[in-house]
Structure 1
């Protein structure tokens, strides 16, 4: 099946936009990953605990709201759904917000999305990747765990489970809450 380029997008082999702000100085001994919000009990996991979780490999096409598309990139990581085994969600949780470090603030950046969206094999906390030009590339230690796809958050630090949606970092700055590239949903106000 031929790859489909969304309207208004351009195909690239590069990574045009990598991150906002400073690169997070990852330290395995002090890093932790928190699951909180509308849950029965908050949980905090160490890097070692996270890396013991089952791994998933997924090849996806990426379509960024900033108009670039990169086809056939393969990621290895931990599926979002693996973290659900550690928390009991309140019955009416429908959204999540993934937080990550921005300029050393663990809540500096966030990505919001409906809970059902990251339940498949294409929503991963990634630690390595490859494409047709490169064999497996580890994500450098200073990048910690990186969540990829649909709305990406790098250097993830927390998952907050929520009953109501609220805008993430880019949505607070005017980007679409949905960001569907095939519908050209780039900005909140067209």
Structure 2
């Protein structure tokens, strides 16, 4: 089946590496994953507890705001919905922000997403991958090891938080790191929602580190 390339995108077989700030250096004993926000009780999970959750394998397409698209990358990870087992959500929880490390701050990066869009197999916290050119391998530190969120293909890839550290549950939609800097809150690549509604190109545009 032919793939639909979103407007303004170019297909690549490589997985380009882009990141903001320093590459996080994983230390298992110090690593935790926090569930918090508009919930009754915050939960903090260890690396072992997270990795003991059920695993999902899913093949997804990725679309980056810097105009590259990569089809058919297979990931193994933990579905977003698995983390809902640990929290009690009221009906008015409609959004989340997924956090990640940035320059030593475990909550320095975040991306906002609508909760209802994250219940499928295409919303994964991933730790290993493969494609037609690669056998199974752990994702590299520059790709977000030990845990990187991969969003559904209906979102640009900046919504895929690297070095994931937690989920904030929200009643109202609040901007994340790049959204505060002028990028779209909704970020649908098929509607080319790259920037905020005012249409101005933000400063601090994503930079390309390398191609893999």
What's the TM-score, normalizing by structure 1? 0.96
Deviations 1:70-125 (A, max 9, x none): 00000000000000000001331100001100001011100101111111101100
Instruction: Please give the secondary structure, in 2, of the residue aligned with 1:16.
Output: coil
Name the CA distance, whole Å, in 2 between partners of 1:179 and 1:17. 19
State the alpha-carbon separation in 2 of the partners of residues 140 and 66 from structure 1: 20
Residue of structure 2 in register with 1:93 after alignment: 93
1:166 aligns with 174
> For residue 129 of structure 2, what is the aligned residue in structure 1?
129
Q: Does 1:51 align with 2:51?
A: yes
SS at match of 1:143: coil
Tell me if structure 1 keeps the 8 A contact 2:138–2:145.
no
* Counterpart secondary structure, 2:106: strand
Q: Is the 8 A contact 2:95 2:173 kept in 1?
A: yes
Aligned to 1:147: 149
- TM-score, normalised to structure 2, is 0.86
| Aligned CA-pair RMSD | 1.3
2:193 to 180, 185, 190: 185
Query: How far apart, CA to CA, are the structure 2 residues paired with 1:165 and 1:139?
Result: 30
Question: Contact 1:66/1:186 (CA < 8 Å) preserved in 2?
Answer: no
User: Mind listing any 5+ residue stretches in structure 1 that lack a counterpart?
Assistant: none
Provide the rounded CA distance (Å) in 1 between the counterparts of 2:86 and 2:48: 15
Task: Count the aligned residue pairs.
Answer: 190
SS at match of 2:30: coil
- Indicate how the Cα distance of structure 1 residues 17 and 173 shifts in structure 2: closer, same or farther if over 3 A, else same: farther
2:106 and 2:176 mapped to 1: Cα distance? 14
Q: 1:117 maps to what in 2?
A: 117
**2:82 is paired with a residue of what secondary structure?**
helix
Q: Is the CA contact 1:147–1:154 (under 8 Å) kept in the aligned structure 2?
A: yes
